[in-house]
Structure 1
Amino acid sequence: MTKFEQIKGFLFDLDGVIANTSAYHSIAWHQLADKLGVTWSDELANNLKGVGRMNSLNLILKYGNKENEYTEEQKEAFAKEKNDNYLKLLDHLDKSEILPGMEDFIKDLSDHHYLISLASSSKNSPMVLEKLDLAKYFDAKVDPATLKHGKPDPEIYTRAAEVLNLKPEECIGVEDASAGVKSINGSGAISLGIGDPRILNEADLNFKDTSEVTLTNIKRAMDMDLLEKAGVESK
């Protein structure tokens, strides 16, 4: 594993990592699933985390065995309807929706001269960052409209490092979804998963919630991992 001292950049997902907006996505998708006659469940909600808009719609349709019932034009209309509902839910978004500790963490990264980029599948993420008053800390953002593949494909995290003029190996990617962790791992960056370690078991580093995410804790976790690996190799 890369040493902590080699890290130069951090690559962030947004929903469920920086802010509580993932709950708004779930509400909007739930509304659409109900309209389409697809039974909503926690399993379906979890499978949509970190996944782009059209891929999420296709997952919902597949879940309800309806993937062949609609034309591409109809699917585009459903995706737009979901997004319109999501944007209405965001009307009153403010800094209170920032997850515990994340504003201080992002400020700390900036103060220590780490480069920061956004690797969100959501086309609305720049607007959300502005509403949260966090956009000023980000050196670059990946435009999801320019991507050919969604998570878990590594393209978005490869690009997130590239827009900072860094190698993925010099970066830590921060995610709360298994698809996102797979994406980070595929890019070659260090993956930091926030959430249940049983779900995010492929993450290089894991913290149960955002309040634990600090530079000190990340350094400690990376140092411990290197020591553990060195101990295994020396046996």
Structure 2
Amino acid sequence: MIMESRENVEQMGIIFDMDGVIIDSNPLHIKAWRSVFEKENVFISDDDFSNIVSGTTGDTAIRTLLKRELTQDEVNHFNEAVDAEFRRMLTELNVGPVKGLRNFLERMRSAGHRIVVATSAPTKNVDMVMDKLQLREYFEFIIDRTRVTHGKPHPEIYLKTLEQIAIPDYRCVVFEDSLAGVKSAVGAGLRVIGVTTSHSAVELNAIGASLTIKDFDEVSAEHISTLMSTN
């Protein structure tokens, strides 16, 4: 195991997206979206999910997929239906954290770094994932969908995270898997490490990820410090 020491280590802000980063939940999300939208005679392809749905709050995706005028109440209904279906499947299936995550969190916490979450997921989904994986203790705070007006790729969620974590942006790094999420973090002036659970390294690098990993066995504090020291 790679060990990180508190000695001579400048505190960093380690910011995580949730779906596709903390938990490889995208297969469940695809099934949930398809289950709800099949009733509307809308088929969601893998490309549709990656390009329209993944990483966003859902409102824009719902309007785009249905291709008709919707009231906000109608949009909320579809969001809630998808989220409820996701939680139902998560309860029934054995889904774990992304490989190496728990050890990485332990190392970052032991080294004195601040660890937080910035996710487009709603509070109920966040609570279920954190409780199911027993990871809540590692995160100082969580900013979810309910805390922002504009979803990813708008940078609002990461700007709010920076304000709350109170560490300079050049001492923070974001782990993201979606194109919208990478754009959001880069738009807030943050360095991004892309996790290739949803998109290829080429795709993530093309929109601003500074580094990509398959899982958390591939990254250490030294990697992050080196990343922060580059222009």
Q: TM-score range by the shorter chain?
A: 0.7 to 0.9
In structure 2, the partner of 1:79 is 79
> How many angstroms does 1:221 deviate by?
5.2
Q: Distance in 2 between matches of 1:133 and 1:121?
A: 20
TM-score of the aligned structures, taking structure 1 as reference length? 0.83
TM-score of the aligned structures, taking structure 2 as reference length? 0.84
Between the two proteins, the alignment pairs up a number of residues equal to: 215
**Structure 1 consecutive aligned stretches of length 4 or more whose deviation exceeds 6 Å:** none
* Matching of residue 106 in structure 1 with residue 111 in structure 2: no
In structure 2, the partner of 1:218 is 224
Q: Which secondary structure state, in structure 1, belongs to the residue aligned with residue 23 of structure 2?
A: coil
Gaps of 5+ in 2: 1-8
Q: Which secondary structure state, in structure 2, belongs to the residue aligned with residue 17 of structure 1?
A: coil
The AA in structure 1 aligned to 2:154 is: D
Q: Distance in 1 between matches of 2:181 and 2:45?
A: 20
The more displaced of 129-138 and 46-55 is 46-55
Match of 2:24 among 20, 33, 37: 20
Contact 1:93–1:132 at 8 Å: present in 2 too?
no
> Over the residues paired in the alignment, what is the CA RMSD in angstroms?
2.1
In structure 2, the partner of 1:233 is none
> How many angstroms does 1:150 deviate by?
0.6
1:85-120 deviation per Cα after TM superposition (whole angstroms, max 9, x unaligned): 1111121466x5111111111111111111011101
1:33-78 deviation per Cα after TM superposition (whole angstroms, max 9, x unaligned): 21111122111111221111323322322xxxx233x433332222
1:185-228 deviation per Cα after TM superposition (whole angstroms, max 9, x unaligned): 111111111121221022122224443233244345556xx3xx
The AA in structure 2 aligned to 1:177 is: S
Q: Distance in 1 between matches of 2:176 and 2:156?
A: 15
Task: Work out which of the two has the higher radius of gyration on C-alpha atoms and give 1 or 2.
Answer: 1
The more displaced of 80-89 and 207-216 is 207-216
Q: Distance in 1 between matches of 2:11 and 2:179?
A: 22
